[in-house]
Structure 1
Amino acid sequence: MSSYSPAETAEKSGFSIDTLRYYEKIGLLARIARDASGRRVFSDDDLAWLGMLRCLRETGMPIAEMLRYSELVRGGDATLRERIELLQDHDRRVEERIALLRGQQGQIKRKIDLYVGRTGAGARVSAART
């Protein structure tokens, strides 16, 4: 199993070192190993967990829910049903957000088409967009 410094972990995960420290402080990252000098050492498992945290965060899950999810994960198989429910609830919110964004994107595209039509340069502008 590989080990990574905080800087390597930040680079690989896309989180800043400050965010990694914060996530550890609030309990989203648990049991981070330390080297002989007391510096954090991250594992492949830690990177995989950070990938899940990034997914949840980027899809709009609040930190409080991420904390609840991490507690449930640490609870083992006895918490599977609760994890499923939490993720299903989040998935529903993501679907609603995607639908909202698709509608808004449609409005943007209609406005682009209106402007392209008004310029009389539809082919030229459309080619520039692709």
Structure 2
Amino acid sequence: MTSTWTPAEAAVRTGLSLDTLRYYEREGLIGPVARTTGGHRSYSEDDLFWIGLIGCLRDAGLGIADLREFTVLLREGGSGDRITFLSGHRAELSGRVERLQTAIAVLDEKIAHYTRDAARG
């Protein structure tokens, strides 16, 4: 038997609000989500996996337009297009990580400097 979840259960499992789930569905990022005979949304394991992937890509800095483009590539594009798309975003994310690491190093140096000053009185 396949497990399914109500919208409220899917929200809890994904850590997203019901409004966000509905928004992602309206934007075509998830779904179509199955409906019960009563017309209520019923999220599958595949839906929750996809929602998790969308969340990960959002955390990586992809905007809604990027996610729409990726969704279209998955539905219509070839593997090469997907690889190019993801590789480009990976390169951007790596650059951001490098800049953040530099900023952290500067902050660490300043913290150490001011800690030494404070210890001297």
Q: What band does the TM-score fall into relative to the shorter chain?
A: over 0.9
CA offsets, 1:25-44, max 9 Å, x none? 01001210011221111011
Q: Which residue of 2 aligns with 1:52?
A: 53
Q: Which residue of 1 aligns with 2:111?
A: 112
CA offsets, 1:4-61, max 9 Å, x none? 1111111111211101000100100121001122111101101110111011101101
The whole-number CA distance in structure 2 between the counterparts of 1:115 and 1:7 is 49
3-state SS of 2:58 partner: helix
Question: Could you state the TM-score of these two structures normalised by the residue count of structure 1?
Answer: 0.87
The whole-number CA distance in structure 2 between the counterparts of 1:20 and 1:79 is 27
The whole-number CA distance in structure 2 between the counterparts of 1:114 and 1:51 is 42
The whole-number CA distance in structure 2 between the counterparts of 1:97 and 1:42 is 34
Question: Could you state the TM-score of these two structures normalised by the residue count of structure 2?
Answer: 0.93
**Paired letter, 2:37:** A
1:82 lines up with 2:60 in the alignment: no
Q: Which residue of 2 aligns with 1:64?
A: 65
Q: Which residue of 2 aligns with 1:124?
A: none
- Would you identify which runs of 4 or more consecutive aligned residues in structure 1 move more than 3 Å? none
For structure 1, list consecutive stretches of 5 or more residues without a partner in the other structure: 122-130
- Percent of aligned positions with the same letter in both sequences? 36
**Paired letter, 2:12:** E
CA offsets, 1:98-129, max 9 Å, x none? 001001111111111012111218xxxxxxxx
Q: Which residue of 2 aligns with 1:40?
A: 41
Give the number of aligned pairs: 119
The whole-number CA distance in structure 2 between the counterparts of 1:8 and 1:117 is 52
3-state SS of 2:20 partner: helix
The whole-number CA distance in structure 2 between the counterparts of 1:115 and 1:37 is 64
Give the 5 Å matches for 1:3-18: 3-18=4-19
For structure 2, list consecutive stretches of 5 or more residues without a partner in the other structure: none
3-state SS of 1:42 partner: strand
